[in-house]
Amino acid sequence: MKALSEIPSKDLKSITAKGKTMLFFTATWCGDCRFIKPSMPAIDAEYPDLNFVEVDRDQFMDLAQELGIMGIPSFVAFEDGQEVGRFVSADRKTRAEIENFINNLAFTN
């Protein structure tokens, strides 16, 4: 999983333009984010056709506001530039809940 800070373009359209992308909004101070973060490498490995991008909500507040992300951890899925689903709330999320969300996304490919 790449961090948004490691990607040359921080523009939402260029990040999500091609393929399947999952934005994972998090913050260093967020206890629920720290709870799920150890599971993220396994989730990333389980879905090799999905490009996971970790977004520090505090560092990229403009993007979080653009997408209406208030609670974290949150996930927003895109396919070829179009949003196809979101798992957005301030609630703690388990690995099973995240995998269920991914498995029920309306990807066309």
Provide the token pair at 32: 């629920």
Q: Give the type of residue at 28.
A: T
The single residue of 22, 23, 30, 55 carrying the catalytic annotation is: 30
Average pLDDT value for the chain: 90
Whether 19 is catalytic: no
Q: What is the pLDDT of residues 11-30, one digit of tens each?
A: 788 889 899 999 999 999 99
Q: Is the pLDDT of residue 10 over 90?
A: no
Span 46-52, average pLDDT: 94
Whether 30 is catalytic: yes
97 Cβ contact partners less than 8 Å away, ≥ 6 residues apart: 87
CA distance 47 to 99: 9
The pTM of this model reads 0.91
Q: Domains (ranges, CATH) in the chain? A: 2-103 (3.40.30.10)
Q: Is the pLDDT of residue 91 over 90?
A: no
Q: What is the pLDDT of residues 65-88, one digit of tens each?
A: 999 998 899 999 999 999 999 998
Provide the token pair at 81: 């530039």
The strand pairing partners of 21, in sequence order, are: 51, 78
